[in-house]
Amino acid sequence: MRTGLSTAHDEDFTEFTEASYAPLLRTARLLTGDRHAAEDLVQAALVKVYLRWGRSESWASPQAYARKVVVNLYATWRRRRWHTETAHPGGEGAAVADGPDMAGSADARLELAGALNALPRAQRAVVVLRFYEDLSVEETAGLLGCSPGTVKSRTNRALERLRAAGALAGYAGRGTR
């Protein structure tokens, strides 16, 4: 039997999920490079958020907390059994950067997506959070649990690798902050 409190709790969480799912999925797709893995990641993150929903009135932003859960789950993915599943290139998840807010031609986006997927996990997470989520160095450091200097050095190394791969050629003026 459901009480009025749990119904309101579930309705609030449903509203939050409806508003937050697309941005969380976008971040997860950029991190994982695969739509299906991203959906799994977001689903696992939303389960964790639901279990803590309503327990903490100190959340500055439930969306920020959910994004942090996505990033933390992504960072620990290697320890999870289902991480060994891989998608084959050319499938639905092959083009990571396909949102309408992406600049550049389709070829440039595909090239950038491939280069982004080739980055080490920590560098990819920094690039996604800094340049796709538009977070500051300090916000990124807080999400990843590292120092701002670590974020800066990972960003620098990631951008060097992306430039070396020619992936930033179609994005003049980007990747220099």
* pLDDT single digits (tens) 75-113: 887 555 444 444 444 444 444 444 444 455 667 767 777
Confidence band of 156 (pLDDT split at 50, 70, 90):
very high
- Residues 55 and 62: their CA atoms lie apart, in Å, by 12
125 to 4, 50, 116: CA distances (angstroms): 40, 24, 10
Helix (H, G, I), strand (E, B) or coil at 61: coil
What local confidence, expressed as pLDDT, does residue 60 receive? Answer: 75
Let me know if 64 is exposed, middle or buried by CB neighbors in 10 A (0-12, 13-18, 19+). middle
Q: Please tell me whether the overall predicted TM-score, pTM, comes out greater than 0.75 for this model.
A: no
Q: What is the mean pLDDT of residues 26-46?
A: 93
> Residue 76: CA atoms inside 13 Å, Cβ hemisphere, count?
9
Residue 57 has pLDDT above 90, yes or no: no
